[in-house]
Structure 1
Amino acid sequence: MNCYLPRQAWFIVMFIFLCQTAFSQNSRTISGSVVDATTGKGLQGVSVSVKGATSGAITDAGGAFRFTTGHSLPLTLQFSFVGYKPEEATVTDASVNVNVQLSSTEILGKEVVVSASRVAESILQSPVSIEKLDIRAIKATPAPSFYDALANMKGVEMSTQSLTFKSVNTRGFNSNGNTRMLQLIDGMDNQAPGLNFSVGNIVGITELDMDNVEVLPGAASALYGPNALNGIVLLNSKSPFQYQGLSANIKTGLLNESGRTNSSTGYYDVSVRYAKAFNDKFAFKINLGYVKADDWQAYDKRDQSLLNGSKLTNTGHAANPGYNGVNTYGDETNVNMKGSLRSTAMTTGNPLGNGIAGLSAATGGAITRDMIYNAIMPDSNNAYVSRTGYDERNLADYDTKNLKVNVALHYKFNSNLELLGQGSYGTGTTVYTGADRYSIKNFRMGQYKIELRADNFYVRGYTTQERSGDSYAIGTLGAGINEAWKPSTTWFQQYFGTYAGGSLTAFSTAFQQALGAGQSPAAAFAAATAAAQGGSANFHNAARTTADQGRLLPGTPAFDAAAQKVKDKPIPGDASGVGAKFNDKTNLYQGEFMYNFKNQISFMELMVGGNIRQYDLNSDGTIFAKDDNGKEFNILEYGGYLQVGKRLLNDQLKLTGALRYDKNENFEGQFSPRLSAVFTFLETHNIRASYQTGFRIPHCQDQYIDLLTPQARLIGGLPFLRERYGLNTGPVYTLESVQAGAPKQYTFREFKPEKIVAFELGYKALIANKLVIDAYVYTNTFKNFNGTQILVQPTSLTTRNIYSIPVNYEKDIKSWGWALGLDYNLPQQFVVGGNVSYNELSNEKDLGSFKAMYNTPKVRYNIYLGNRNIARSFFSFNVTWRWQDSFIWSSSFVGPAVNAMGLSEIPSYGTLDAQISKLFPKPKVTVKIGAANLTQNVYIQSWGNPSVGAQYYASIGYNL
């Protein structure tokens, strides 16, 4: 494997080893051992720390530990290990070994979560539904990565756009690059500020540094602000104080899917983590991660134009001259041949017009020129012709790679007050699906923060710096190559001329033969018409062959040169040619704080917080509109919240209320209240009820995008853009009314943030320390729902502009659902469980032609069986079966006609994931082999996305 690391990364690696030589002088050494209270065997991996400090160690393979601390005696040691009851021991003499026994306990239902209320609380008593993936679960997952494992959680679904780009969603209205889910990495919004999506885990946390993931389904704006409409994903990294030392993991394997150019290709994943703490004050950590593979490929060749009466199953121009394949590009350009040739045919001075005029004159005008033209042409509904396109695999960069670098410096003023600086940088190549398919090539994004925090407050400031690199629109590239080789005006002229000439010749020959045989002009006309119509397929083939003669072919130097010119030119191009490149350098700046008054107020919980954010749009006009001075816009947002909690009835009942206010400079302010109640009975049984609200301020592209794509021009919903393109004055019609043959003028409404009102009732319990039950039912009501409207603006009798614009639906949109999860501890440390979720759009029939883009299967379920230490042999395994129902996918990528008719179905599928691992305690090495989609059920998760096959992998890790 050729694994290139930037120069900065090598400096970091050198810094790791240099830092190992530094240490404090005035110190003492504490040593001892930790064993299982039942078996007496040493326990590896137990966390040993000084209470109120940061020094400590992790026990080795035999359960022994040894560390140096500058704290004076006596001191208290704390011992913690997943699956065991925590213990403490007092040290008065450093020369005496500290020997501790830990008693095994079950972990089910004992997790602590933070995201639900922004305070630590038992997962059983969370006021809303919540899912958690901790270190132990991450190690046991059969998925190739912890991010893939999120799909195993209750009610969570994925949309795979490439191997390294996956979008997470809950409770409906899924989309690629989902902007209704908020993803926070160590408290920082992971959304790319210009491209407006969370880039999966491309710029995130390596698996070695991942402490836990919490997923909060449903509205969460009351505490987390805009965009936490469908939920949040919180990814939290490990502290360098608690997790020290060197860790490394090497993973390799195969991706296999028969429809790819090469069905089986390699997959490589390498990560390294080093962390060190000094004198309980200063600590640092460094993380490096690198992934490389040949990506999954999108190759759906079904015809989504639905032109010429075609069906979605057509697979090429031979079946439909107006063909537009789902994953072929350049064939979106189409013209109605009959409408375009009419003026030529009705005039003389050209071969077609002269030929028609001569035939008409030969009958003394009994057969008119118009009759002849209609005879030699297909009818208007079947006369569409599109250019020949290119397959995605010949245009996209499938050489997927991802480099992640993270550095963090921590300083503790005391045991409770900590200052940290953190920088995360990611770069890579992947593929994303939006209105077009986009090759995100050499994309770079950095997130940099400084934070002061204690157990009752934090103040942080951070920035997200996005650089699109060499990213380009794949569909635009296909169209650009065609135009660079031969402009569409020339291509269609050649095509139409060849077709018309062949058809007219066939008509004329048959007409003359019939007249010579003594038939009447009317009978001769009928025979000639049949000859012209009967040869239509041949005329189309001849026309395309003529127009495509000399066409640039993939793999040739001429094709590569033309493609590179289009890739290098900023979108949409200029008079010299089409451009497909994005040139985005948008930045985000945010400051925020939170303060918990728990040290000042004891009779209730009181918390306040707030933030201010600014987007600095900078795409050189390739994505965003410019103002009258030629500059792109800045967007200012700010908000604040208050949360109050109170326990009643001997702590059996907890009531919590929260209220948040947010303001974006382009929209009115938004209030987001939340109320919740949790009633605990029989110690481990909990009933919860909540009323939650959320909202989504239209993201940067929904506000300011101005981008021409092969399907339509995408413009933002702000009034000045509608005025810029003359949409307010009309005429402008809805696509649906045009398709129905009754164009209807579209009337714009005020563009507003969308809101949600949600109710949830849930039950969560731990029974006999073996069975966890988690169930909920919810209802959602969306107001001012943000959807997409396709508009048609006629520019002449035969030409038109197509616009795609975000608008608010005037009626409420309602959905509901439920979920049930069961987890059971069997004897001998076996665990079994599963979950099922149901989601439904309640009033879909009332929406008419409006596409809410619900994009969610009604039923999903997961079943798993595993054991983290089979008979204490250090072998472990896990097997998971996932299944989801079929559903309809709506988006701006789906062909407008297919979208309107609801034909874009995503088939149901099931997959089997499995892994087995072995820990070798003495060398601290873990070997793992596994497979995702072991049964090789090829599937797609959204329209136009790649076909996903099987992924086989093996890994070897040190000090995991």
Structure 2
Amino acid sequence: MKHFITSMLMFLGIFTLNAQNGFLTGKITDNEGEPLSGASVYVAENGIGTTTDLDGTYKLELPVGNHAVKISYVGYSPSSQSVTITEGETTLNVSLEPGVSLGEVMIVSGSKKAEKITDSPSTVIAISPKEIEEYAGNPAELLSRKKGVDYFRAGIATPAFNIRGFNSNFNSKNLQVVDDRLSSLIATGLPMGPLTTAIKEDIEQMEVILGPNATLYGPNAHNGLINTITKDPRKYQGTTIATNLGVNSDGKGFYSGRIRFAKKLNEKWAVKATGEYTRATEFKYADSVYIDRKDANGNPGTDGVKEGYEEFQLDNKVEFFKTEVSAYFSPKAGNDLIATYGHSNSTYLSPTNVGRNQIVDWRISFFQLKYKTKHFFAQTYYTTSKTDDTYSIDERTKQYYRGIDAGMTPEEAAGEFSYASAARFEDNSKRWNAEAQYNNTFGKLGFVTGVQWQLDKANSNGSYLLDNNGYINLNQIGGYAHLTYDLGKGFEVLGAARVDNHEIYGTNIIPKFGLLKKTDSGTYRFTYGQGIASPTILNLYGNLFSGLILGNAEGFTLVDGTKVKSQDVEKVNSFEVGYRGNLSKSLYADVNAYYNINKNFLSPVTVIGVATERGDTPISEVQSGYAFYHGLVATYINFGKVNTYGTDISLTYNFSPKVSMTANYSYFDYSFDEDNTENDFNKDGKVNFLDFLVNAPKNKGGLGINYGGTRFFGSIFSRWVQEYNYFSSYQIASETLPGYTYRGLPIVENTRSGDSWNYGPLGGFVTFDLNFGYKVNDTLTLSFAATNLFNTEMREFTASPPTGALYLLEAKIHLD
């Protein structure tokens, strides 16, 4: 592969001669002279770096001249060194002092520019390169070890997260970003999650913002944001081949093979390419689908008693194919032009509000072009989303039995007829994005300003949107400014604002303010920020189950003349205080408390009654199943106001540079006005918790022990989640609540509730995760990871299997 790429570049005439270079060599040790394997040696101005081998040595090619070199290693205080490179070899040996260096972690998510995590005005948690490198499983699992994150596994293929409440089986309130790209599905707004194209070996760092950060990232950074940053091929060179073999608690196998190639070709060009193939079998579980069947005389069921059936033709296969290719061009030092193409093809089971979807060959592709200098950033990217055969298992199962009741043979009912009631979801959507940003510092004033544009082109081929087999085109544009000013004596003030305009729900202004106090040990902060959650294209133009569920972009008129307003944005005003820094040389703390005022909720799908018009169009012309539904419509609305509040605490203690302990705890609660009729979402005449569906545990925490030696590394982590009740459209997971009803039925544990089964509350468990490994030499690393080590019985999500154990072995080969 190396020879092929080199030959191609020479053929194209872009393989330029090297500038006059020399080599920086040396050894990185601790204060007792022990070598530090995997320490980072990096020259930021040139974008060049490497890591040390098992004996702590390194070799780095650099242009002749003066350079600032930064050496860092987890558990040690970083060191910055000035060095003059001459022709030949220049030696730089560095000894690092033990100390909690978490405060020196560099992030980009909090202010959209590089800064120390202690200096960020946002509550940011980071998953480091070392954590990702040493974990043998899906790096998303590491989110479960962080404070403030409601992490859950909806099966092997679909780990997911939520922040600060209001979770659901169709949650679009958390934004996902990968390498500056919005990584959300075009029509539904859901995070792409397992559909993304990045592979584990190419992920450098993952950063999570707790709470809203809409001023910089736009309308959907409402509850939180996860930002994945991939590796620069100039800093992380070589070929890495990794494979996983595993088994789940059902005895079913897991296989994953991945490859990453990265090469700095010369001073101007670098390339990287990645690929992954993963195959597994989902945990054993068949959801129940409840159907009102014909009676023995062939008459339609009318008694309201529904029989339960297992999901029809359930396929537990999990399969992923992913690839990315990037070319980096640097016309001069500090100026980068980066072109990237990515593609994924995914098949798995995904939970929804009405049962599970069978995701079949869902293809995501993107083309991205970025230009970066020290102060300027610009990009444009094009994303496509395509599937032809994804379907609702619940609806297909019901349609199959309708066919059987109509006298069809099982073969006839299982064919195209089983999709005839709009069970199949197709997608052929596209999105264009563009962004330009400028940042600089003038004396005590620092600022970041930018503009972002997005054009969504949603197309479901008429399967689940009101697109009439054409594109729904939606434009939005936003501009932002983020300013900081140094007041002196460690005080810094922040002021930021964003203006967004969307052609459906208009213009919104989003402010943010903050005050930071920096000390030698850490930073205290107070911030106020606003976030908005915008209706998705599905919310605005949905057309599900022959028009029973319709999008609410234009409002509705009911038979009694009542007007139902079109859907608008949901807003949250967030107040937060926090401290991040060292309490002592060995103890690092990250503590925050917040109070949120949430208004105008984007409701889950709800029945509004019989409609005569959608906007100005008669409902009979919109609802394809009008002959059956006669205008009965379910849609999405805004309602109510609720206050949420809580605290997140994380402590890290270094017993030694090799051994540390982490502990975290999070508390979350809410309050609302029971006398405010706008809070009565379900229109039962009283306001209670069933109107808001907060769906979050009140208490959760974790405790872990970590060891990182020259060759051996490992950690064990215990997670506790308090039991909590969960409601999401048809889905229910609750204890018995005497006197309460949900969707018109009593709430009783371990019984059927409408169209789903109530297995009881989620959470209520303590689990253990284990990982360890051994660096055989500079080429080979062997490791092991176990999630839910003791196969504890628990349920983490609805419309999903109970989360059993998963055991994985990993072998990783790295070739320079």
Which TM-score bucket, shorter chain as reference?
A: 0.7 to 0.9
* Structure having the larger proportion of residues in strand: 2
1:470 aligns with 2:389: yes
Match of 1:452 in 2: 371
1:420 aligns with 2:338: yes
Q: How does 1:282-297 map to 2 (within 5 A)?
A: 282-297=269-284
Q: Write the letter of the residue equivalent to 2:73.
A: V
Q: 2:700 aligns with which of 857, 860, 865?
A: 860
Give the superposition deviation at 1:713. Answer: 2.1
Alignment deviations for residues 846-904 of structure 1 (CA, whole Å, 9 cap, x no partner)? 644543231111111111111111xx5x2122011111122222222327974555555
Match of 2:645 in 1: 816
Match of 1:691 in 2: 528
Q: Contact conserved, 1:167 with 1:176, CA < 8 A, in 2?
A: no
Give the superposition deviation at 1:18. Answer: 6.1
- Write the distance in 2 (CA, Å) between the matches of 1:52 and 1:686: 27
Match of 1:33 in 2: 26
Match of 1:918 in 2: 774
- Write the distance in 2 (CA, Å) between the matches of 1:29 and 1:198: 45
Q: Quickly say closer, same or farther: Cα 1:566–1:66, change in 2 above 3 A.
A: farther
Match of 2:635 in 1: 805
Match of 1:203 in 2: 196
Q: Quickly say closer, same or farther: Cα 1:766–1:933, change in 2 above 3 A.
A: same
Q: 1:332 aligns with which of 277, 280, 291?
A: 291
Q: Quickly say closer, same or farther: Cα 1:156–1:486, change in 2 above 3 A.
A: same
1:225 aligns with 2:144: no
Q: Contact conserved, 1:35 with 1:43, CA < 8 A, in 2?
A: yes
**665-674 vs 33-42, which deviates more?**
33-42
Give the superposition deviation at 1:54. Answer: 4.4
Match of 2:438 in 1: 595
Q: Contact conserved, 2:576 with 2:593, CA < 8 A, in 1?
A: yes
Q: How does 1:123-134 map to 2 (within 5 A)?
A: 123-134=117-128
- Write the distance in 1 (CA, Å) between the matches of 2:811 and 2:246: 12
Number of matched pairs: 763
SS at match of 1:622: coil
Alignment deviations for residues 260-281 of structure 1 (CA, whole Å, 9 cap, x no partner)? xxx2100112211111112221
**930-939 vs 118-127, which deviates more?**
118-127
Q: Write the letter of the residue equivalent to 1:678.
A: L
Match of 2:593 in 1: 777
**888-897 vs 268-277, which deviates more?**
888-897
- Write the distance in 2 (CA, Å) between the matches of 1:138 and 1:56: 18
SS at match of 1:882: strand
Q: Contact conserved, 2:422 with 2:544, CA < 8 A, in 1?
A: no
Match of 2:111 in 1: 117
Q: Quickly say closer, same or farther: Cα 1:391–1:828, change in 2 above 3 A.
A: same
- Write the distance in 1 (CA, Å) between the matches of 2:396 and 2:85: 72
Give the superposition deviation at 1:391. Answer: 1.2
- Write the distance in 2 (CA, Å) between the matches of 1:611 and 1:464: 15
Give the superposition deviation at 1:958. Answer: 2.0
Q: Quickly say closer, same or farther: Cα 1:830–1:24, change in 2 above 3 A.
A: same
Match of 1:563 in 2: 414
Alignment deviations for residues 18-45 of structure 1 (CA, whole Å, 9 cap, x no partner)? 6799895665552633141534344443
Q: Write the letter of the residue equivalent to 2:323.
A: V
Q: Write the letter of the residue equivalent to 1:145.
A: N
Q: Quickly say closer, same or farther: Cα 1:881–1:68, change in 2 above 3 A.
A: closer
Give the superposition deviation at 1:60. Answer: 3.2
Q: Quickly say closer, same or farther: Cα 1:672–1:692, change in 2 above 3 A.
A: same
CA-based RMSD: 3.1
Match of 2:131 in 1: 137
Q: Quickly say closer, same or farther: Cα 1:823–1:92, change in 2 above 3 A.
A: closer
- Write the distance in 2 (CA, Å) between the matches of 1:55 and 1:863: 36
- Write the distance in 1 (CA, Å) between the matches of 2:579 and 2:21: 50
Q: Contact conserved, 1:481 with 1:562, CA < 8 A, in 2?
A: yes
Q: Write the letter of the residue equivalent to 2:259.
A: V
Q: Write the letter of the residue equivalent to 2:209.
A: L
**859-868 vs 163-172, which deviates more?**
163-172
Q: Contact conserved, 2:681 with 2:692, CA < 8 A, in 1?
A: no
Q: 1:582 aligns with which of 425, 449, 471?
A: 425
Q: Contact conserved, 1:165 with 1:202, CA < 8 A, in 2?
A: no
Match of 2:511 in 1: 673
Q: Quickly say closer, same or farther: Cα 1:770–1:46, change in 2 above 3 A.
A: closer
Q: How does 1:304-453 map to 2 (within 5 A)?
A: 327-329=287-289, 331-333=290-292, 383-386=303-306, 388=307, 390-392=309-311, 394-436=312-354, 437-453=356-372
Q: Quickly say closer, same or farther: Cα 1:400–1:792, change in 2 above 3 A.
A: same
SS at match of 1:756: strand
- Write the distance in 1 (CA, Å) between the matches of 2:292 and 2:526: 53
SS at match of 1:192: coil
Q: Contact conserved, 1:108 with 1:769, CA < 8 A, in 2?
A: no
Q: Quickly say closer, same or farther: Cα 1:147–1:204, change in 2 above 3 A.
A: farther
1:149 aligns with 2:142: yes
Q: Write the letter of the residue equivalent to 1:139.
A: E
Q: Contact conserved, 2:548 with 2:629, CA < 8 A, in 1?
A: no
Q: Quickly say closer, same or farther: Cα 1:610–1:817, change in 2 above 3 A.
A: same
Give the superposition deviation at 1:817. Answer: 1.3
| Unpaired runs of at least 5, structure 1 | 1-11, 257-262, 300-326, 342-377, 491-549, 553-557, 723-727, 732-744
Q: Write the letter of the residue equivalent to 1:286.
A: A
SS at match of 1:150: helix
Q: 2:446 aligns with which of 605, 611, 623?
A: 605
Q: Quickly say closer, same or farther: Cα 1:37–1:764, change in 2 above 3 A.
A: closer
1:707 aligns with 2:544: yes
**103-112 vs 457-466, which deviates more?**
103-112
Q: Write the letter of the residue equivalent to 1:716.
A: G
Match of 2:607 in 1: 790
Q: Contact conserved, 2:20 with 2:87, CA < 8 A, in 1?
A: no
Q: Contact conserved, 1:888 with 1:902, CA < 8 A, in 2?
A: no
Alignment deviations for residues 733-778 of structure 1 (CA, whole Å, 9 cap, x no partner)? xxxxxxxxxxxx9752342111111111112230222111222211
Match of 1:81 in 2: 72
Match of 1:654 in 2: 492
Alignment deviations for residues 129-183 of structure 1 (CA, whole Å, 9 cap, x no partner)? 1111111122345x72211111211110134333222332100011234211111
Match of 2:688 in 1: none
Match of 2:267 in 1: 280
Q: Quickly say closer, same or farther: Cα 1:890–1:459, change in 2 above 3 A.
A: same
Q: Quickly say closer, same or farther: Cα 1:50–1:609, change in 2 above 3 A.
A: closer
Q: Contact conserved, 1:779 with 1:816, CA < 8 A, in 2?
A: yes
Q: Quickly say closer, same or farther: Cα 1:137–1:187, change in 2 above 3 A.
A: same
Give the superposition deviation at 1:56. Answer: 5.4
Give the superposition deviation at 1:218. Answer: 0.7
Q: Quickly say closer, same or farther: Cα 1:792–1:416, change in 2 above 3 A.
A: same
Alignment deviations for residues 97-152 of structure 1 (CA, whole Å, 9 cap, x no partner)? 514132233323221222112232222232221111111122345x7221111121
Q: TM-score, normalised by structure 2?
A: 0.87
- Write the distance in 2 (CA, Å) between the matches of 1:77 and 1:798: 73
SS at match of 1:413: strand
Q: Write the letter of the residue equivalent to 2:554.
A: P
Q: 1:719 aligns with which of 531, 543, 554?
A: 554
**659-668 vs 47-56, which deviates more?**
47-56
| Unpaired runs of at least 5, structure 2 | 612-624, 683-690, 734-740, 749-757
Q: Contact conserved, 1:185 with 1:204, CA < 8 A, in 2?
A: no
Q: Contact conserved, 1:128 with 1:689, CA < 8 A, in 2?
A: no
- Write the distance in 2 (CA, Å) between the matches of 1:625 and 1:832: 53
1:637 aligns with 2:476: yes
Q: Write the letter of the residue equivalent to 1:912.
A: F
Q: TM-score, normalised by structure 1?
A: 0.74
